[in-house]
Amino acid sequence: MRNRKKWLLRGCIVIALVTICGWRQKLDKDFLELTTCPACYGKEFCRDILDDELTRGKKITLASYSRWKIMRLLNVKNVYYAERNKVPLVLKKLGHDSELQEFNTNLCEADKQVAGCDITEAIQSLLLKSKNNVAQVVSRFPLLFEMSEGVKCNHRRVLYHLFDNFLKIDNEPNQHHHFLTLLAVNMEPLILNAYRNGWFPALIGMCGRAIVEEYVGPTLTQFGEASWLSRADYARQLLEMAQDFTNGEFRLYLTDVSLDNFAVDPHGKVKIIDAENIVMVDPTTDGLDRSEHINEGFGCWDCLSFSYEDLCGHIFADHNYFAVCKGMLSSQSFSRDLPKGLLHSPPDWVMEQHPTFFSLVEDCARPSSHSTTLPRRSDAAAALHTQLLQILQKSGKA
Ligand SMILES: Nc1ncnc2c1ncn2[C@@H]1O[C@H](COP(=O)(O)OP(=O)(O)O)[C@@H](O)[C@H]1O
Ligand SMILES: [Mg+2]
């Protein structure tokens, strides 16, 4: 009886909320927060996204449960599923409401105005004070970009790399404003745009405080029970990603490594779907240490410990191998959904024919001990990758 009353009450609350909020969430000016522009992500894509009666049908619409207005209250992450011509997409506001609000407050503060000021004027004023130069804004108002891992190292060439690529997709008069807003709030679209190399989803466009990107597929968390060989193939790709990012023109170091930040597309390709936390290093910067930085990994047992100073100060670092092996592959991985790691429960023949396989996984994942008997972490990762290739070839998966 009590239970029935509870359900009745919950039902009434849902009906009341739906009545107050309405059913369908429209991609309108309010939802896209167009009034924040030019302190927004862009406007070029608005014609493809803004909901109006005339062009409905050709445009991007919210899909699945993201269509319900009530989801706005529950969707703290502000990540929505969308589609265009039945092609699945993802719409992101790039931050929780409170984070976006915090950026507004920081803008006012940087411009020495009180919270709640006109942010469209504040961002204009910061650029005017800095002669319309984005690098000057970044160096004069560091608090605004405190959360941005892309510019943590303060390597000028990184900033221009992101900016020059951004100018290729934003021809609006306020392109500087848009770039700075993205850099401060969440640089994911800047990365997706600068790295169209297959490791990231395609960036489709920006409108107001929303961006649209390719929907990749289910996250790695959902592949915990997939066949071991499929998981081995994802592990192979993760190690290749780690290697590419470690040796690129700009080093990209992953700092938020968990299985729900990686997804698998319909062709079995692994991509990073959360590109907010990536430290970028320009290895041509004067004065960097030329020795390989070995991430000691001490400091926390169930998370990824690292130092910005070390990553930024070295030409090479084994950080990505550590992050991938410790965060996702090892039996001690810190994924709550897959506590035994992506490579759990191998078939017997793998254990018999590759007796060193699992010790390599652990060597790659364990904190460095300066031991002379253990292989360097990057060597362990390379040997692991070779064995994965052999296993996959033997079973016709490569
Ligand atoms: N491009 C994408 N393709 C498929 N799923 C995605 C994509 N982007 C985000 N998601 C889903 O939304 C979740 C949250 O997105 P994410 O960008 O990681 O937000 P947050 O930074 O809040 O963690 C992801 O774990 C994933 O389930
Ligand atoms: Mg995430």
1: tokens are: 């009886």
> Which residue is closest in CA terms to ligand 1's atom 1?
215
The contacts of residue 220 (CB under 8 Å, 6+ apart) are 234, 259, 260, 262, 263, 264, 270, 328, 342
Nearest CA to ligand 1 atom 23: 274
Ligand 1 atom with the smallest distance to the CA of 186 is 21
Compute the distance from residue 261 Cα to the ligand 2 centre, in Å.
5
Instruction: Give dist(CA 362, CA 381) in Å, integer.
Output: 10
Question: What does each C-alpha distance from 88 to 49, 137, 173, 265 come to in angstroms?
Answer: 14, 37, 31, 12
Residue 11 predicted with pLDDT over 80 = no
Query: Quick one: pLDDT at residue 55?
Result: 56
For residue 298, what pLDDT band results from cuts at 50, 70 and 90?
Answer: confident
Q: What is the pLDDT of residue 74?
A: 80
Question: How is residue 58 annotated by DSSP?
Answer: S
**CA dihedral of 74, 50, 176, 164, whole degrees rounded to 10:** 100
Span from the CA of 212 to the centroid of ligand 2 (angstroms): 16
**What is the average per-residue pLDDT within 142-159?**
93
95 CA to centre of ligand 1 in angstroms? 11
Angle in degrees, 0-180, between the axes of helices 97-110 and 175-185, rounded to the nearest 10: 120
Question: What is the radius of gyration, based on Cα positions, of the chain?
Answer: 23
| Closest C-alpha residue for ligand 1 atom 13 | 79
Complete domains list, the chain, with CATH: 22-215 (no CATH), 220-394 (1.10.510)
pLDDT (average), residues 356-384: 84
Chain mean pLDDT for the chain: 92
- Specify whether the CB–CB gap between 344 and 338 falls below 8 A: yes
Q: Which of 177-191, 230-244, 288-302 has the lowest mean pLDDT?
A: 288-302
User: What separation in Å is there between the alpha carbon of 256 and the centre of ligand 2?
Assistant: 8
At residue 296, the pLDDT reads 83
Pocket test for ligand 1, best of 65, 71, 75, 77 (most atoms within 8 A of CB): 77
Look at residue 21 in the predicted model and tell me its pLDDT.
62
How confident is residue 192, by pLDDT bands cut at 50, 70 and 90? Answer: very high
Is residue 350 pLDDT above 60, yes or no?
yes
pLDDT at 297: 79
For ligand 1, what atom is nearest to the CA of residue 213? Answer: 1
369 band by pLDDT with thresholds 50, 70 and 90: low
Pocket lining: 94 vs ligand 1, CB cutoff 6 Å: no
Task: Tell whether ligand 1 has an atom less than 6 A from the beta carbon of residue 189.
Answer: no
Look at 100 and 74; give whichever has higher pLDDT.
100
Q: How many angstroms separate the alpha carbon of residue 262 from the centre of ligand 1?
A: 8
Q: 222 CB less than 6 Å from ligand 1?
A: no
pLDDT of 334 reads 78
Atom of ligand 1 lying closest to residue 96 CA:
22
How far apart are the CA of 209 and the centre of ligand 1, in A? Answer: 17
**96 pocket-lining for ligand 1 (C-beta < 6 Å):** no
**What does the pLDDT look like over 106-138, one tens digit per residue?**
999 999 999 999 999 999 999 999 999 999 999
Residue minimizing CA distance to atom 22 of ligand 1? 77
Q: What is the pLDDT of residues 45-98, one digit of tens each?
A: 999 998 765 555 568 999 988 888 877 778 889 999 999 999 999 999 999 999
At residue 238, the 3 state secondary structure works out as: helix
Given a cut of 80, is residue 299 above it in pLDDT? no
- Higher pLDDT pick, 285 / 296: 285
The finding on whether 201 has its CB within 6 A of some atom of ligand 1 is yes
> Which ligand sits closest to the CA of 78?
1
Band (300; pLDDT cuts 50, 70, 90): confident
E-assigned strand segments in 154-295: 203-207, 210-214, 251-254, 262-264, 270-272, 278-281, 289-293
Task: Report whether residue 99 contacts ligand 1, using a CB cutoff of 6 Å.
Answer: no
Global pTM value: 0.92
Q: Please state which of the ranges 9-18, 250-259, 293-302, 378-387 shows the lowest mean pLDDT.
A: 9-18
- In the chain the first and final C-alpha atoms are separated, in Å, by 59
**Does ligand 1 come within 6 angstroms of the Cβ of 75?**
no
- Atom 7 of ligand 1, nearest CA residue: 273
Q: Is 131 left (phi over 0), alpha (psi -120 to 50) or beta?
A: left
pLDDT value, residue 337: 79
pLDDT band of residue 20 (cuts 50, 70, 90) is low
